[in-house]
Chains A and B, each alone.
Chain A
Amino acid sequence: QKEVEQNSGPLSVPEGAIASLNCTYSDRGSQSFFWYRQYSGKSPELIMSIYSNGDKEDGRFTAQLNKASQYVSLLIRDSQPSDSATYLCAVAYTGGFKTIFGAGTRLFVKA
């Protein structure tokens, strides 16, 4: 069983819609959760972090965490074509040095 699992997609949504990206993780000891965005040929870029159960909002992005279900999600409101990228879910221990990444979900936003 992979430690961090994501649907590889591609997920296709029309411009202006809400994109919903999901992630599950296997280690119940995980404490820190991250979403990275990666454009084709580029390195990953941190866009959201979440540490407590519930929702965390930052602009058009909302991260949701449910530790009991070992589930993390990212919602992108008012999706734009520029949001088209691969979104990587990652988990870590607070104070830890190693982050475990999922394989990513490819998102296409159609104009």
Chain B
Amino acid sequence: DTGVSQNPRHKITKRGQNVTFRCDPISEHNRLYWYRQTLGQGPEFLTYFQNEAQLEKSRLLSDRFSAERPKGSFSTLEIQRTEQGDSAMYLCASSLVPVGDYGYTFGSGTRLTVV
């Protein structure tokens, strides 16, 4: 296992289109996190899964955003009716233990550009 995998690495889409990103966590990790990072800012928390349950969702995640983690394995993040303000790097991380204890291992991220 080579770590947290995210696909695609880059996505360019027209405003109004829907996009979906995928995250494959480290196989034995039951916790999965999504963050968003814009230029010049640190990562901002979006949502958290423990197994298949979505336990926390940031107010940053508008109704256009939805995340799933079927069967507690990979996760998808979908953005509907994309806006230019959605342009950002979307980061996924996973962990076996609470991240407050050991920190994150992030995937390589998906960079979204909305034109």
Q: Which residues of A contact B (CB under 8 A)?
A: 4, 8, 31-32, 34, 36, 42-46, 49, 88, 90, 92-104
A104 to B42, CA, bound (A): 6
| Chain A residues within 8 Å of B103, by CB | 32, 34, 36, 46, 49, 90, 99
Q: Give the Cβ gap from A9 to chain B, nearest Cβ, in Å.
A: 11
Q: Which of A43, A92, A97, A101 contacts B42 (CB 8 A)?
A: A101
Say if the beta carbon of B2 comes within 8 Å of chain A.
no
Interface residues on B, range: 20 to 34
A36 to B31, CA, bound (A): 20
Say if the beta carbon of B43 comes within 8 Å of chain A.
yes
Inter-chain contact A8/B40, CB cutoff 8 Å: yes
Q: Give the Cβ gap from B87 to chain A, nearest Cβ, in Å.
A: 15
Q: Which of B45, B89, B109 contacts A99 (CB 8 A)?
A: B45
A36 to B102, CA, bound (A): 12
Q: Give the Cβ gap from B25 to chain A, nearest Cβ, in Å.
A: 14
Chain B residue at minimum C-beta to C-beta distance from A34: B103
| Chain B residues within 8 Å of A98, by CB | 33, 45, 48, 56, 99
Inter-chain contact B108/A43, CB cutoff 8 Å: yes
* Known A97-B48, A98-B56: A103·B41 in contact at CB below 8 Å: yes
| Chain B residues within 8 Å of A96, by CB | 98-100
Inter-chain contact B55/A97, CB cutoff 8 Å: yes
* Chain B positions 76 through 98: 1 when the CB is less than 8 Å from some CB of chain A, otherwise 0: 00000000000001010000001
Inter-chain contact B109/A43, CB cutoff 8 Å: yes
Say if the beta carbon of B65 comes within 8 Å of chain A.
no
Inter-chain contact B106/A99, CB cutoff 8 Å: no
Most buried by A among B33, B41, B100, B105: B100
| Chain A residues within 8 Å of B101, by CB | 32, 94-95
Inter-chain contact B106/A43, CB cutoff 8 Å: yes
Most buried by B among A42, A98, A104: A98
Q: Which parts of B37-58 form the interface with A (CB within 8 Å)?
A: 40-45, 48, 50, 55-56
